[in-house]
Amino acid sequence: AIDLSLYSDLTTMMCGGTSRPSLLAASRGAQTALEGTTKDQRVEGLLRALATGKQGGMTEEGHRVSGLFGGWNPFSPAKAPKERPAAEASLNEPPIDLRRYAVRPADLQGEETRRWPLPSNLWVCCSCGELPLEEQEVPDAVRRMRAAIDALPQNWIVILDTDHLARAPVSELAFCSASKLILPLSIDDNDFSRLFIDPTGNALFEVLEETEGREEGWLRSRIHKVVFNSVLHYQNQ
């Protein structure tokens, strides 16, 4: 599982849950992931590798990528997509090893979280609040992500978790790399409506339609399921 969420939802749930030791403390899961990994072992390192093709760890330039979503601002008005530059990813380039940027949550479990045993074949590329991918880096990142997924053993299943900000660079990366799109929704009219209407330009169906129209075969994912979910925050269920 690759956590492309700014809010580290998947990381939090997999690495210890949402419970907090005290009122102002970080959630147990997020803190466990932060202490048990480095940037080079998390999604920050993976995104820079996907953007540059360099797998030897984050460079000084990679650490300077601005903003939580690179240079993308979720509150700026929607703009017409820029013409895509020619792909820089070399055909002879070795695929990115996704396992280099992932950890097994079972290895991070402390005494407090062992009551929820996790399978040893579950790997998570953790997010700890930074997603350094610029808009202009998305085309090469998508091509490298597709190659990286194809290079994994055939019995592996890769899940990409994103936020509701459908126009973010990391969301396009996920939409264009995955084959199936699963939509978790709460039974709430506002949650449902933002699939079609969003004042910040992040309505999912609108973004998917635009992405599909840019280039044949660019948008890979198709809606597979809509799941109505309810999370019991304090029970990690």
pLDDT > 90: percent of the chain: 43
What's the length of the chain? 237
Lowest mean pLDDT among 68-72, 128-132, 201-205: 68-72
- Confidence band (pLDDT; 50, 70, 90) for 1? very high
Read off the tokens for 13: 């749930």
Task: Evaluate if residue 149 carries a pLDDT over 70.
Answer: yes
207 exposed, middle or buried (CB, 10 Å; 0-12, 13-18, 19+)?
buried
- Confidence band (pLDDT; 50, 70, 90) for 86? very low
Determine the Cα–Cα distance for residues 166 and 158; give it in Å rounded to an integer.
19
Read off the pLDDT of each residue in 72-90 and give the average, rounded to a whole number: 48
Phi, then psi, of 210 in degrees rounded to 5: -65, -45
Which amino acid does the sequence have at 209?
Answer: E
Q: Tens digit of pLDDT for each residue in 11-36? A: 988 888 888 888 777 888 888 888 88
Residue 175: strand, helix, or coil: helix
pTM of the model: 0.81
Which amino acid does the sequence have at 227?
Answer: V
